[in-house]
Structure formats: C-alpha cells, structure tokens
C-alpha cells in the first residue's frame, strides 16, 4: 500500500517514519513534507506544485495525485486542511482518509463551539463565556478584576488576583491565548483581537475563561465515531509539551520546545478521572451530535490533585507530542490508520513499549521571534547512533540546488527534535541530550529541562 501524509512538521516526519516501518507500506508520500520526510527510508515528498492542502485547489490537486499514484490511504497531520473540509472531499470521491470532517473540526477551529459542546455533554472544563460584542467582553473582564462574582467562577471563592484567560475563537496558530493578570492586560488583548483584528477573523469572537492552576497533560487518542454506530475513543500513552521558550517555563509561548511520554505525574487515579469526566462524555457527545469523526483527537488537560479539566480539544495529533508518543507504539501505525475509518478500532491491539521517550526541540536562534534560516545542519552519525535517538525534522529542507544530496538546511523556527528512548525517564533524558550534542547548526538553541520542568 502507498500512503500519503499531509503536513510539513516534526509530527508529520514522525508519522511518516512510523508508517514506513509497516511491512504493508511500500511507500509514504508527504505533502508538502520537509527535508526529514525527503530523507526518510521508503518516503518521498509529493511535488510542491500540488499547492496548499488547506485550499480547494490544493485539495483537488492532491486528489489527482492520490489517484495517479494509486495511494490507498491519506493521513492528515495539521488542523487547517481538516477545518477546510479535506476529509469530506476525499470521502465523496471514494478515497480513504483519516481525519474528522469539517463540522467535527470545529471542536478545535472554534473555541466557542467546543466550549458549548463541553457544556452540553458535561465534559469537565474551565468555566467560560463567549462574546461577540467587545463592550460586553470588557464589562465582563472589568467585573472579574473588580472582584464581582461572575458566572465563570460562581463555584469558586472570590479572589481578585486570579488571572482571566482571553482566547480568540478561531484558529490562531498558538497566538490566540493570553493569560491576563490585570484588567489592563485583558482590555489590551480584547481590543487587539476584537477591534484591531490582530488575528483577522479568528479574533472577532472571544472566549473569556477561568484560569486553572495545575500541570498540563496531553492525551492523544484514536477516534472512530460514525452516525448510527457505537463509537470508540482509544487513548494513547500520556504526553507533555513544554510550551514556553525558556527553562523553568519562562518566556514567550512557542509551538512547543519538547515533549515527553508518558507523563510520570499523570497517576492511575488521574487517568480514571480523565476517562469518566472527559473522555466518556466527549464520546457520548460525538454520538449524540451524529458526528462522523474517524481520525485523531488531542485532549489538552490541566490536572491538579488527580482531577482533570479540559483546556482544549485539537482534532489531530499533537506536535511535538507525536514525536515522543509514536516511538513508544508497539503496533503497526498503518494498521491503526486503516482500523480507524474501517470501524475496527475497538478491537485494535493498541500496545505500548515499556520505558520513556524524551524529545527536546532544537530551534533556530531568535525563535519564537524572527530567526535565521538557511544554516547547514551537521550530524555526527556515530555519536547519534550510540544514543539510539532519532532526529525528527520540523523546519529544514534540502538545498534546492542539491536535491540529490541529503544535506539539510534550516528553514523554520523549530528545526528538529531528538527523540530518545530510555528504560526510565532519566535515561531517556540523558540519551536525548547526548543526541542533541551530536547535532549542530548556527544559532541552535534548546531547553535543557524537557521532562524536568
């Protein structure tokens, strides 16, 4: 079977790598892919001329490519093509694809929609209100910081020092959440999102949300829900992203500076709580809404004292969580991707290797601000081999003039992740950082505390 992976990040490199290990898979195409998917065994990037998979024209071109190449299965990495209806298009043309439909993708693409869904089905989540009128949002924030009881925190003791979380409704590539510590900060973000349209249409509706203390956990899962059938959600091993740029969780938010799996502090009690308070009501909600959701889901949790609250759904696998989770998969990922649309997910043997994975990200100097590009990446293969780690490329390409060589040059903020296994979290950490020492490029920067924050 030939498989197509849509996307261009480290997550897609990890997916392509894992798919390529399947004996059933003859070839993996990545569209558009990156230098990592270009170099991976059994993998090849689709022609760049196919265009953007989040546009109508790009989706049509991809369908043509899938038919021409006889590709048997397409797996979608990022949210944008899903929110733009790629799944409906492929299925209407009889092409097998893994991912939720456009309506289902609103669980990520609209925070207002997803919060209303959580409320309707009793999924435990941070209290929130959705606003279309900036004056009402401002009024609400003013009351919050004046210590007036609001519907958000009716069940909580009054504490005016509590921050308020301001979220843009739409997809904002990680720039749509501000934790406002004062009314002035809340006012500034509400004005930026709703009036100045700093995020375009994504910010014209705003969700104001209760701030939850605790530690974050990501649970990725496979979902197979179809109208008229009993659905199933099968969670993967837990993972944790490290979103802030600097050690100790300081500095600006990023796309993720590294991930670990599993999360040592996600206890058995917390996992049971997640199942009853979040996963089961989500599944019941999907069934009740008659959703057609055959793909992956990501539960972004805040956990305190073994009690989980849902911060967000993503309608796809997480990045960089996937780079830590998939190396622990003790099953054929191509088989899983077939079982999801086929309706056989419930019986799929989803087993995990023992031990742990640590996957710190190496970024280009300046990230998450503007950063250098075009620097050559050198890897000491011998030293890397000793660590057992593998490098997942996020932002690097082959040089256009030397397409025949496998040398890579940086092309984005997050350049790569070193994903290393160990029999315990500490040894995974040691292996991962030894692996990063075998890699170098100008301005290379990384956090040393992935898994230890």
Stretch that binds ligand AMP, among 67-75, 114-122, 209-217, 366-374 (CB under 6 A): 209-217
Q: Compute the distance between CA of residue 185 and CA of residue 149 in angstroms, rounded to an integer.
A: 20
For ligand AMP, give the closer residue by CB, 1 or 192: 192
Q: Compute the distance between CA of residue 408 and CA of residue 423 in angstroms, rounded to an integer.
A: 31
> Which among 397, 415, 417 has a CA at the least distance from the CA of 407?
397
The CA-based angle 406-410-412, given to 5 degrees, is 130
Give the one entry of ligand AMP, ligand GLY, none that residue 256 binds, where binding means its C-beta sits below a cut-off of 5 to 8 angstroms depending on kind: ligand GLY
Q: Compute the distance between CA of residue 242 and CA of residue 361 in angstroms, rounded to an integer.
A: 10
Within positions 295 to 324, which residues make up the interface with ligand AMP, using CB under 6 A? 300, 302, 311-312
Q: Angle between the 134-145 and 183-190 helix axes, to the nearest 10 degrees?
A: 170
Radius of gyration of the chain (CA): 22
Element spanning 138, H or E: helix 134-145
220 part of the interface to ligand AMP, by CB under 6 A: no
- Count the site residues for ligand AMP by CB under 6 A: 15
Determine if the peptide bond prior to 304 is cis (ω within 30°): no
How far does CA 185 lie from the centroid of its chain?
27
For ligand AMP, give the closer residue by CB, 55 or 150: 150
Token pair belonging to 101:
């439909």
Within positions 385 to 424, which residues make up the interface with ligand AMP, using CB under 6 A? none
With CB atoms as reference, the residue minimizing the distance to ligand GLY is 318
Q: Minimum CB separation from ligand GLY for residue 314, in Å?
A: 5
174 part of the interface to ligand AMP, by CB under 6 A: yes
Q: Minimum CB separation from ligand AMP for residue 219, in Å?
A: 14
Do 124 and 277 meet the contact criterion of CB atoms below 8 Å apart?
A: yes
Among 1, 192, 212, 329, binds ligand AMP (CB under 6 A): 212
Residues linked to residue 393 through DSSP beta bridges, in sequence order: 416
For ligand AMP, give the closer residue by CB, 16 or 217: 217
Q: Is 181 exposed, middle or buried (0-12, 13-18, 19+ CB in 10 A)?
A: middle
Contacts of 72 (CB under 8 A, 6+ apart): 1, 2, 3, 96
Beta-strand ranges (E) seen in 54-109 are: 71-76, 97-100
Q: Compute the distance between CA of residue 453 and CA of residue 240 in angstroms, rounded to an integer.
A: 10
Give the one entry of ligand GLY, ligand AMP, none that residue 318 binds, where binding means its C-beta sits below a cut-off of 5 to 8 angstroms depending on kind: ligand GLY
Give the one entry of ligand AMP, ligand GLY, none that residue 321 binds, where binding means its C-beta sits below a cut-off of 5 to 8 angstroms depending on kind: ligand GLY
For ligand GLY, give the closer residue by CB, 243 or 434: 243
Q: Minimum CB separation from ligand GLY for residue 323, in Å?
A: 10
Residue with tokens 């992935």: 450
27 part of the interface to ligand AMP, by CB under 6 A: no
112 part of the interface to ligand AMP, by CB under 6 A: no
For ligand AMP, give the closer residue by CB, 26 or 160: 160
Binding site for ligand GLY (CB under 6 A): 241, 256, 314, 318-319, 321
Do 450 and 432 meet the contact criterion of CB atoms below 8 Å apart?
A: yes
Binding mask 236-265 for ligand AMP (x = CB under 6 A): -------x----------------------
Q: Minimum CB separation from ligand AMP for residue 119, in Å?
A: 15
For ligand AMP, give the closer residue by CB, 252 or 264: 252
Within positions 179 to 208, which residues make up the interface with ligand AMP, using CB under 6 A? 179
> Which among 386, 15, 427 has a CA at the least distance from the CA of 260?
427
The pairing of beta strand 164-168 with beta strand 206-210: antiparallel
Helical spans, DSSP H, in 275-377: 280-288, 321-325, 333-342
162 part of the interface to ligand AMP, by CB under 6 A: no
Residues linked to residue 258 through DSSP beta bridges, in sequence order: 360
Q: Minimum CB separation from ligand AMP for residue 275, in Å?
A: 21
User: Phi then psi for 206, rounded to 5 degrees?
Assistant: -130, 140
126 part of the interface to ligand AMP, by CB under 6 A: yes
Give the one entry of ligand AMP, ligand GLY, none that residue 164 binds, where binding means its C-beta sits below a cut-off of 5 to 8 angstroms depending on kind: none
Do 303 and 311 meet the contact criterion of CB atoms below 8 Å apart?
A: no
Q: Minimum CB separation from ligand GLY for residue 11, in Å?
A: 7
165 part of the interface to ligand AMP, by CB under 6 A: yes
For ligand AMP, give the closer residue by CB, 165 or 363: 165
Q: Minimum CB separation from ligand AMP for residue 50, in Å?
A: 29
Stretch that binds ligand AMP, among 17-25, 171-179, 265-273, 393-401 (CB under 6 A): 171-179
Give the one entry of ligand AMP, ligand GLY, none that residue 216 binds, where binding means its C-beta sits below a cut-off of 5 to 8 angstroms depending on kind: ligand AMP
Q: What is the contact surface with ligand AMP in residues (CB under 6 A)?
A: 126, 165, 174, 177, 179, 209-212, 216, 243, 300, 302, 311-312
């Amino acid at each position: 079977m030939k498989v197509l992976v849509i996307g261009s990040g480290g997550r897609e490199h990890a997916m392509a790598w894992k798919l390529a290990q399947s004996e059933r898979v003859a070839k993996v195409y990545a569209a558009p892919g990156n230098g990592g998917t270009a170099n991976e065994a059994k993998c090849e990037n689709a022609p760049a001329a196919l265009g953007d998979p989040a546009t109508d024209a790009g989706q049509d071109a991809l369908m043509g490519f899938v038919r021409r190449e006889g590709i048997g299965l397409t797996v979608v990495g990022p949210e944008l093509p899903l929110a733009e209806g790629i799944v409906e298009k492929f299925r209407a043309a009889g092409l097998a694809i893994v991912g939720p439909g456009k309506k289902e993708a609103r669980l990520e693409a609209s925070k207002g929609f997803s919060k209303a869904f959580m409320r309707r089905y009793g999924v435990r989540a941070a209290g929130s209100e959705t606003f279309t009128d900036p004056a009402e949002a401002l009024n609400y924030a003013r009351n919050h910081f004046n210590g007036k009881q609001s519907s958000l925190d009716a069940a909580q003791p009054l504490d005016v020092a509590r921050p308020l979380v301001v979220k843009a409704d739409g997809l904002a590539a990680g720039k749509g959440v501000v934790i406002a510590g004062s009314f002035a900060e809340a006012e500034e973000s509400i004005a930026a999102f709703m009036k100045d349209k700093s995020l375009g249409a994504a910010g014209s509706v705003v969700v104001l949300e209760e701030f939850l203390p605790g530690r974050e956990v990501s649970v990725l899962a496979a979902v197979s829900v179809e109208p008229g059938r009993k659905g199933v959600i099968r969670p993967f091993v837990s993972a944790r992203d490290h979103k802030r740029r600097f050690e100790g969780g300081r500095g600006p938010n990023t796309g993720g500076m590294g991930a670990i799996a599993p999360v040592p502090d996600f206890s058995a009690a917390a996992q049971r709580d997640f199942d009853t308070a979040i996963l089961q009501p989500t599944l019941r909600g999907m069934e009740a809404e008659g959703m057609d959701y055959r793909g992956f889901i990501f539960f972004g949790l805040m956990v305190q004292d073994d009690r989980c609250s849902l911060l967000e759904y993503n309608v796809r696998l997480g990045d960089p969580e996937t780079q830590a989770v998939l190396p622990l998969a003790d099953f054929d990922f191509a088989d899983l991707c077939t079982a999801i649309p086929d309706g056989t997910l419930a019986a799929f043997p989803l087993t995990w290797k023992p031990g742990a994975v640590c996957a710190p990200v190496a970024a280009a100097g300046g990230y998450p601000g503007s950063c250098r590009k075009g620097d050559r990446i050198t890897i000491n293969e011998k030293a890397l081999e000793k660590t057992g780690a593998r490098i997942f490329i996020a932002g690097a390409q082959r040089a256009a003039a030397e397409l025949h060589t496998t040398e890579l040059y940086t092309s984005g903020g997050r350049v790569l992740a070193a994903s290393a296994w160990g029999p315990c979290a500490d040894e995974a950490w040691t292996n991962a950082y030894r692996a990063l020492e075998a890699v170098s490029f100008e301005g290379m920067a990384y956090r040393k505390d992935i898994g230890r924050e």
